[in-house]
Amino acid sequence: MIKKMIEVSGLKKSFKTNHVLKDVSFTVHKGNIFALLGSNGAGKTTVVKILSTLLKPDSGNVSIGGFDVVCQGDYVRGCSSLTGQFVAVDEVLTGRENLYLIGQLKRLTDVKSKVDEWLSFFDLEDAADRKVSTYSGGMRRRLDIAMSLMGNPQVLFLDEPTTGLDPQNRIAMWDLVKSLVAEGTTVFLTTQYLEEAEYLADNIAILHGGKILAEGTPQYLKEIIPQRGAQLNFQNERKAVEAMKLLNDKGITVDSIEKKLPSIEEVFLTLIDEKKEDSNHE
């Protein structure tokens, strides 16, 4: 039986008259990558802050690893970790010193071996004893995540982790996230890059207007949008030309038919547009 690592039900949060989260519900299973998509200002970071105990919800039920985020915050923080949008490393210290500091703050046993382990995992061994001020953006982000993983949290929250990275470092970060999940970590990811969610996520939720518009696997989300047609494959160009003219009444054989499913980007834009149209008609 698959364990539910994150459970959110009826989550609401307002800032004065701004109702950011109106009724948010979703579930994340253990060992999965869950991506929360949404436009700027949709409330993605607000969700992450509530899940990581940095912000209290107005109402609703939220649990991480079976612990309530409001009543059992210490336990939630003990089993989870957060890497925010902005890299949080000390540039005066070396990479090794940053990791060692976190290990001491968390009172970990055998800190040295854990530091060496994560330096190796994140391919930072050669730069370990250099000041972080000399690191590239991709190296700083890797170190930032390594610091979050000191103590082996069950759940890792990644709030737009590839923002500002070049394409090469973004792809490297994707591979890194996949590796973390292979080691047993559950990853909750927010992103504005739709292809990132499509490549990484086991399940995706689309947040808009304070609510989840749709949730499911990438395949499921693609199939809930009306079909955009099909791709027909023929043995040669001549048949293709004939088919264009005579398919309906000549019974030309089609070698294969492939569904033309929309991309996650098309799904996202379609659902957002439909929501806007519904709002305009209200």
pLDDT at 164 over 60: yes
93: which 2 tokens? 């210290």
CATH 3.40.50.300 intervals, the chain: 4-224
pLDDT at 69: 96
How much is the pTM?
0.78
pLDDT at 168: 84
Q: Which of 35-39, 59-63, 122-126, 140-144 is the most confident on average?
A: 59-63
Residue 155 three-state SS: strand
CA-based torsion, 89, 95, 96, 97: positive or negative: negative
Backbone torsions φ then ψ of 114, nearest 5 degrees: -70, -40
pLDDT at 1: 46
Contacts of residue 142, defined as CB under 8 A and 6 or more positions apart, other chains included, come to 122, 123, 124, 173, 176
Query: Which CATH code is given to the segment(s) 4-224?
Result: 3.40.50.300
At 241-257, the pLDDT tens digits run 666 666 666 666 655 55
At 71-113, the pLDDT tens digits run 999 999 999 999 887 888 999 999 999 999 999 998 888 899 9
The rounded distance, in Å, linking the Cα atoms of 184 and 199 is 18
The rounded distance, in Å, linking the Cα atoms of 151 and 79 is 9
pLDDT at 261: 67
pLDDT-above-90 percentage for the chain: 51
The rounded distance, in Å, linking the Cα atoms of 32 and 200 is 10
If pLDDT is split at 50, 70 and 90, which confidence band does 277 have?
low
Amino acid at 271: L
At 47-81, the pLDDT tens digits run 999 999 999 999 999 999 999 999 999 999 999 99
pLDDT at 138: 87
Q: In this structure, which long-range contacts are made by residues 251-257, counting pairs with CB atoms below 8 Å and at least 24 apart in sequence?
A: 256/232, 257/230, 257/231, 257/232, 257/233
Contacts of residue 229, defined as CB under 8 A and 6 or more positions apart, other chains included, come to 260
